[in-house]
Amino acid sequence: MTSERMIQAHLDREQARRNAARKRDDATTPQEKLVRAAENGRFETIVAAAQPAEPTKMVSPEEREAELRATGQWPAAQKPEPAAPPDAAAEPEAPAPEPGMPTEPTPGMAWAEENLSRRPPGSGNRRPAHNPYRCLTEYDPLTGKIIGDGYDHRFDGDDE
């Protein structure tokens, strides 16, 4: 069992710790410091010290360009390259094929070009058979019968 004296000593230590923490934390947050400074009349000096000597200002792109040109940091104007004489080959030659690659289409490549056509993504010419917002089987609670199978049969090709 704990004696009354030990409990009282623990209570006294806890109260002393809390009182010390209260004195130490006196105006420790920035907001509390500003409130205390405002109460004592030092708020204006804190604000003046925090503000820059010269306020920032907006600069238009034209002013920025003029400033960079004056300091010599603006990139030099690029002169367009002279056009190639008309005698030059109008069409550049095709690059040489890589070693090991066929120069003419293989039979498989020819078949693929004839028979396969790439659909662009999202072309929308195919509907999913199942509507995800609909149950696969619908149940009529009044009659107790199952109605349909939940699939869209409009495009099955069976004309009923």
- Domain assignment present for 101: no
59 belongs to a structural domain: no
Q: Report how far residue 27's alpha carbon sits from residue 30's, in angstroms, rounded to the nearest whole number.
A: 8
Count of structural domains within the chain: 1
Give the residue numbers spanning the domain of 43: 4-50
Alpha-carbon span 73 to 76, nearest angstrom: 9
Decide if 117 is inside a domain.
no
Q: Tell me what the pLDDT averaged over the chain comes to.
A: 76
* Residues of the chain above pLDDT 90, percent: 12
**pLDDT over threshold 70, residue 13:** yes
pLDDT tens figures, 37-90:
888 888 888 888 888 777 778 888 999 999 999 998 888 776 666 666 655 555
The reported pLDDT for the residue numbered 99 is 81
pLDDT tier for residue 14 given thresholds of 50, 70 and 90: very high
Distance CA(121)–CA(109), nearest Å, equals 22
Q: Is residue 29 part of a domain?
A: yes
Strand partners, 138: 147
Average pLDDT over residues 105-132: 73
Task: Reply yes or no on whether the pLDDT at 2 is more than 80.
Answer: no
- Render pLDDT for 128-144 as a digit per residue (tens, 0 to 9): 666 666 666 667 778 87
pLDDT at position 84? 61
pLDDT of residue 6: 92
Does 23 map to a domain?
yes
**18 pLDDT band (50/70/90 cuts)?**
confident
35 within domain boundaries: yes
Q: Which amino acid is at 66?
A: A
In a domain, 9, yes or no: yes
Instruction: Report how far residue 65's alpha carbon sits from residue 59's, in angstroms, rounded to the nearest whole number.
Output: 10
Residue 134 lies in a domain: no
Distance CA 138, CA 136 (A): 7
How is residue 108 annotated by DSSP? H
pLDDT of residue 141: 76
pLDDT recorded at residue 22: 72
pLDDT of residue 52: 78
